A and B are shown apart, each in its own frame.
Chain A
Amino acid sequence: MSPESLRNARTQNDSVDEILERYAAMVYRLAYARTKNRFDSDDILQEVFMRYIRSAPDCQDEEHRKAWLIRTTINCSKTLLTSAWFRKTAPLSDTLSFEMNERSEVYYAVLELPTQYRTVIHLFYYEDYAVAEIARLLDCKESTVKSRLHRARNILRDKLKGVAFDVQE
């Protein structure tokens, strides 16, 4: 069989499970970085993927799909974070000790940052996006991303003082 026939045999539609396998953790981790608790992250995870199924975005490639999911995650968590209910009731829950096997200085330091900073830090350091890509994802100027990153790094450096992490990189 030729590679050609293999390609022809494929369809563009990946199964739900494949998409979940590839992206569920990504969405969840970003949601967690933004909401800081597992319950809201659970909700956002479901909301994002249900929106994905309902709106069936026409993703040209995986990068596009990934970007769509990241944007939707940010939007969903934005809706939640700005809701009056959340602002009034959301505790700074310590469910993290349940998630993580040990308390991590680094992750906690990131969680203590303001939401906007957390988001750029997460996209930059965890998802390895470049500044320009983050600007596109967040629909803001590159300079905004840069300054958020810069300020977040300063705070982190201060928090993690004496800790041998090179936050710059």
Chain B
Amino acid sequence: MFRNKYKADNDTINPDKALIKYLSVRMKQAQSASEKPEPIHSVVKIKKRRLAHAAAAIAACLAILLSAGGLYLHFNQDQLHPAVNTDQKKHESTDESTEKKDVNNFATYTELYNLIRSMEQTADFGSDEDFISETAPAAMPGNNINGNPIMKGGGATGAATQATQATNGKANSRETDSHSKTNTQVQGVDEADIVKTDGEYIYTLVDGKLKIVSVNGSKMKMLSSIDVGAGSDVKSEYKPLEFYIKDDRLIVLKNKYKIDSDYSSKPRAEIAYDGCYVYNRNCSVVADVYDLSDRDAPKLIGSSGQSGYYLSSRMVGQTLYLITNHNVYDTAVKDSPETYIPMIYSKNKGRIIPPADIYISKEPQGRQYIVVTSVDIANPDKQISSKTVFGCGSTLYASTENLMIASGSNGRNSGGTPVAGRTVPQVAEKTQVSGAVTPDDSAGGSSYTEKNKTTTTTYTNSTNLLRFSLSDGKIELAAKGSIKGNLLNQFSMDEHNGVFRFVTTVSTHTETTSGSGENALVTYTPGTTTNSLYTLNPKLEVIGKIENLAQNERVYSVRFSGDIGYFVTFRQTDPLFAVDLGNPAKPKVLSALKIPGFSEYLHPWSDNLLFGLGRDADLSGRAGYMKISMFDVSDPTDVSEKNKLILDGYYYSDASYNHKAIVISPERGIVAFPCDNKYLIVSYTQNGFVKKAELSVDNYGVNQRGLYIDDVFYVCTNKSITAYSMDNYKKLATLKF
């Protein structure tokens, strides 16, 4: 669809992060100095001026950042340290005396307040980057966490055995069931979606209503429609996001936006259409649990919530894990911890997360918390456990035992930590000769000044990791680590036999500063892009790695399957790498298959076959039609593309970016996914792919889901559910909402 594709294309166009950073500094300077408007003479002139400004700003920027880095270090010499209980009795009143305590040992509200304030005053760039040199001890995050056993069972070996059954990355949606399930990453770990089925009913979230439809073959009937977004008024706005079905329980997750009083005079639609376009600083996420024993009349039996924007969630057994990002703005008021500490809500009562459950990341990246809570859906009015880390996180992976939260940009932008800084003195000219600058008298006889120096700094992006252990709803922060590069998505992370595996795209850029002060010139040069694979132990220490793969390409898809990891990078042709992770300390590239195009989603089809969904490409690297491939991986040292089908005329599928949009069933031998303005069903047999059906849909590819129950295939959109016979894909019936 044009709109989707145009948006997707635009989303890849981003301003340079370094540019944003110095723009930020310039703006702040202008704000404080109420800088006089520059007369605009001509475009060319402006450019020159800017460069001079840029240099000054960059110099200031680096200086500030370095000092900020030092500050964090001072606050947190013990890395992530949980607050101790002795302080808990004081937190209610945020006792002033806590300030006097040794900040290295306590994370009190006051300490956090001071930290937040200090970040405002120095340079909070609010981005996901930090500029603390990796070569300095400050940036080498250790992994010992005071007072927190790394794993129950006493360490790595215990963890390893526990994790074994937990995550076999393989064929997770494979099932012998009579109906399809949401395509999830890890077996035993459910992920929320907008359409689900339990084999008897279809549940779908449409325009804020949760509709329950009994299917009974093609005789579909709507049993009930719950207004899960109810309760919105001029003061608050609910936006249902996703839901879970677990036996007779329905769990609906929704964002709740509190609307500023200033807005309340305006029509709501104008303020908060679609929720995401309107910025609102007071957001929380609510999990409503309904009893479905009578599906004609579902009953709300409880709800709980927490501060922040919905990041993601997982469900393991009866336990829901809810993860949000909570921002702190310039509004922190010392005596009101609620202005800078996230809250958890149950039964409409809020409470501030106690200090014992708050951690401060060693390198807080902006004034942001990640909040993790767990709820037993049998007892939904109360969180089992809640934890928050001051720092941030953007991508997460969960097995049944561990929750991994990664922060860093999501792999599309460069940026990050300077790994090497060196100063290259150029052939220095006497300042008198240049005439452009005044001689520096204070230099005390030196005929040279700093003004002709060139400083080159290379930055490499990186990802910080936090591991939480999960056990029946108990969440414990277990380890912290860091790897080079950025992750693509949740599939870039995996856990197998107690080893955590990551595939990243590592990119560098170089900043060269010539001269200093007003006459400095800063140039940004994008550096190399390479790809890496890291294996980490439960302490999140790197134990094995492969680096410098596929120069100038980036990762397009990743899938781990037991001892083998697959990933695709792309520039012109698609190298599909197969990596042997049998010995995590020595990962080894087994093969790199080069075929035209690339896969954006990989899924283990069987022990010998790997399915890929992506795009075809011509020799210049220009992406063409959608393409699906079946790779023969029976011999990982010689992976081949066994079958492929180019979907002529199709360019875009939600499934490329959202694994929940695809149905993959090796048992039924089908793959089904939305594609442009159709819904495609493709069968796969020994002889290859055969396009079975191109079903017309009524909502242009947005939020379509397919599912099957027995011999009927259903296509769910926000307007209707249509049933098709799986024998011939003839339309059987349509239920319009």
Interface on A for B, CB 8 Å cutoff?
1, 3, 5-7, 9-18, 20-22, 24-25, 28-29, 32-33, 41-43, 45-47, 49-50, 52-54, 60-63, 66, 79-80, 83, 85-86, 98-107, 110, 121-122, 125-126, 128, 156, 160, 162-167, 169
List of B residues within 8 angstroms of A83 by Cβ: 42-43
B333 touches A107 (CB 8 A): no
Render B536-570 as a binary contact track against A, CB cut-off 8 A, 1 for contact.
00000000000000000010000000000000001
Contact A167 B338 (CB under 8 A): no
A22, B279: Cβ atoms closer than 8 Å: yes
B249 CB → nearest A CB, Å: 29
Pair A103/B2 contact, Cβ less than 8 Å:
no
A126 vs B8: C-alpha distance when bound (angstroms)? 9
User: Are A15 and B329 within 8 A (Cβ)?
Assistant: yes
Q: By the criterion CB–CB under 8 Å, are B30 and A53 in contact?
A: yes
Contact B28 A16 (CB under 8 A): yes
Q: Is B432 engaged at the interface, CB distance under 8 Å to the other chain? A: no
- Output the least CB separation between B131 and chain A (Å): 14
Given contacts A106-B5, A169-B2, contact A101 B554 (CB under 8 A): yes
8 Å CB contacts to A: which residues of B217-266?
Answer: 235, 258, 260-263, 266
- Check A53–B6 contact: CB distance below 8 A: no
A20 and B3 form a contact (CB under 8 A) = no
Min CB distance A11 to B, Å, is: 6
What is the CB-to-nearest-CB distance from A147 to chain B, in angstroms, rounded to a whole number?
A: 19
Task: Give the contacting residue for A20; candidates B23, B35, B266; CB below 8 A.
Answer: B23
Interface bits B12-31 vs A (CB < 8 Å: 1, else 0): 11111001100110111011
Q: A6-B338, A80-B43 are in contact. Are A62 and B278 (CB under 8 A)?
A: yes
Q: Is the CB of B5 within 8 A of A16?
A: no
Minimal Cβ-Cβ distance residue in B for A3: B258
- Among B119-127, B288-296, B491-499, B605-613, the stretch in contact with A: B119-127
**A54 x B35 contact (CB < 8 A):** yes
The reply to whether B339 and A103 form a contact with Cβ atoms under 8 Å apart is no
The 8 Å CB contact of B26, one of A13, A21, A50, A122, is A50
Cα separation A98 to B13 with both chains bound (whole Å): 9
Identify 18 new A-B residue pairs, CB closer than 8 A, beyond the known A100-B9, A163-B651. Answer: A7-B258, A10-B331, A11-B331, A13-B330, A15-B329, A15-B330, A16-B31, A17-B127, A22-B279, A41-B15, A43-B47, A61-B271, A80-B43, A85-B42, A98-B526, A99-B14, A107-B6, A128-B277
Bound state CA distance, A17 and B427, in angstroms?
A: 38
Instruction: Report the bound CA distance from A53 to B24 in whole Å.
Output: 11
Cα(A66)–Cα(B10), bound, Å: 18
Which residues of B sit under 8 angstroms from A49, Cβ to Cβ? 23, 27
Asked whether B126 lies within 8 Å of A6 as measured between CB atoms, the reply is no
| A165 and B651 form a contact (CB under 8 A) | yes
**Chain B residue with minimal CB distance to A61?**
B263
Whether the Cβ atoms of B282 and A46 lie closer than 8 Å is no
B621 at the interface (CB under 8 A from A): yes
Asked if B642 CB lies within 8 Å of chain A CBs, one says no
Give the residue of A21, A80, A102, A128 whose beta carbon is less than 8 angstroms from that of B126.
A21
Closest 6 CB pairs of A and B: A17-B126, A107-B9, A165-B2, A28-B15, A1-B338, A103-B622
**Of listed B3, B124, B125, residue having the most chain A CB within 10 A:** B3
Q: How far is the CB of A33 from chain B (nearest CB, A)?
A: 8
Q: Are B2 and A17 in contact (CB under 8 A)?
A: no
Question: When A53-B30, A106-B2, A125-B6 are in contact, do A9 and B20 touch as well, CB less than 8 Å?
Answer: no
Least Cβ–Cβ distance between A79 and chain B, in angstroms? 8
B100 proximal to A (CB < 8 A): no
Q: List 25 A-B contacts (CB under 8 A).
A: A5-B338, A6-B282, A7-B260, A14-B330, A15-B120, A17-B127, A24-B23, A25-B15, A29-B10, A52-B27, A54-B37, A61-B271, A63-B278, A85-B43, A85-B44, A86-B43, A101-B570, A102-B623, A103-B620, A107-B10, A156-B2, A164-B676, A165-B651, A166-B2, A166-B700
> With the chains together, A163 CA to B648 CA distance in Å?
9
Q: Which residue of B lies closest to A46 (CB)?
A: B23
- What are the residues of chain B within 8 A of A101 when measuring CB–CB? 12, 554, 570
How many whole Å from B274's CB to the nearest CB in chain A?
8
CB of B479 within 8 Å of the partner chain: no
Judge if B650 is at the interface, Cβ distance under 8 Å: yes
Task: Find out whether the CB atom of A20 lies under 8 angstroms from the CB atom of B20.
Answer: yes
With both chains docked as a complex, state the minimum distance between the C-beta of A58 and any C-beta of chain B, in angstroms. Answer: 12
A9–B50 CB distance below 8 A: no
* Contact across chains for A43 and B50 when beta carbons are under 8 A apart: yes
Specify which chain A residues have a CB less than 8 angstroms from the CB of B9 in the assembled complex: 100, 104, 106-107
Determine how close the nearest CB of chain A comes to the CB of B620; give it in whole angstroms. 8
Q: Tell me whether A10 and B281 are in contact in the complex, defined as CB-CB below 8 angstroms, given that A102-B621, A162-B649 are known contacts.
A: yes
* Contact of A167 with B23 in the complex, beta carbons under 8 Å: no
Shortest distance from the beta carbon of A151 to any chain B beta carbon, whole Å: 15
- Taken together as a complex, chains A and B put the C-alpha atoms of A166 and B120 apart, in Å, by 47
In the complex, how many angstroms separate the beta carbon of A121 from the nearest chain B beta carbon? 8
Residues of chain B contacted by A164 (CB below 8 angstroms) = 649-651, 676-677
A99 to B11, CA, bound (A): 10
**Given A43-B50, A101-B554: A61 in contact with B262 (beta carbons within 8 A):** yes
Q: Give B residues with C-beta under 8 Å from A.
A: 1-3, 5-7, 9-10, 12-16, 19-20, 23-24, 26-28, 30-31, 35, 37-38, 40, 42-44, 46-47, 50, 120, 124-127, 235, 258, 260-263, 266, 270-271, 277-279, 281-282, 329-333, 336, 338-339, 350, 366, 526, 554, 570, 615, 617, 620-623, 649-651, 676-677, 700
- CA separation between A125 and B1, bound complex, in Å? 11
Nearest opposing residue in chain B for A98, CB measure: B526
- A12, A47, A52, A62: which contacts B46 (Cβ < 8 A)? A47
Tell me the smallest distance from the CB of A44 to a CB of chain B, in Å.
Answer: 10
Are A9 and B336 in touch, CB under 8 angstroms? yes
Give chain A residues whose Cβ lies under 8 Å from the Cβ of B15.
24-25, 28, 41-42, 45
Report yes or no: B30 in contact with A54, Cβ–Cβ below 8 A. Answer: yes
Instruction: Find out whether the CB atom of A20 lies under 8 angstroms from the CB atom of B24.
Output: yes
Report Cα–Cα, A43/B15, bound state, in Å. Answer: 11
Distance to closest chain B CB from A114 (angstroms): 17
Are A10 and B329 closer than 8 Å at their CB atoms? yes
Residue from A66, A85, A104 whose CB has the most chain B CB atoms within 10 Å: A104
* Nearest A residue (CB) for B281: A10
- Distance in angstroms from A49 CB to nearest chain B CB is 6
Nearest residue, chain B, Cβ from A22: B279
Q: Is the CB of A126 within 8 A of B10?
A: yes
In the complex, A5→B369 CA distance in Å? 21
Which residue on chain B has the smallest CB distance to residue A83? B43
- For B333, the chain A residues whose CB sits under 8 A away are 9
Is the CB–CB distance between A110 and B6 below 8 Å?
yes
Shortest Cβ distance from B340 into A: residue: A9
Point out the residues of chain B lying under 8 angstroms from A16, CB to CB.
24, 27-28, 31
Q: Are A46's CB and B13's CB within 8 A? A: no
Contacts of A126 in B (CB 8 A): 6-7, 10
A45–B23 CB distance below 8 A: yes
B44 touches A11 (CB 8 A): no
Contacts of B336 in A (CB 8 A): 1, 5, 9
Q: Which residues of B contact A61 (CB under 8 A)?
A: 262-263, 266, 271
Rounded to whole angstroms, the CA-CA distance of A162 and B625 in the bound complex is: 11
Find the A residue at minimum CB distance from B618. A103
Closest to A7 in B: B261
Residues of A within 8 A of B125 (CB): 17
Query: Among B15, B46, B266, B677, which residue has the most Cβ atoms of chain A within 10 A?
Result: B15
Closest chain A residue to B22, Cβ basis: A46
Instruction: Give Cα A73–Cα B676 distance, bound, in whole angstroms.
Output: 32
- Tell me which residues across on chain A come within 8 A of B366, comparing CB atoms: 17
For A50, what are the chain B residues with a Cβ–Cβ distance below 8 Å? Answer: 23, 26-27, 30, 38
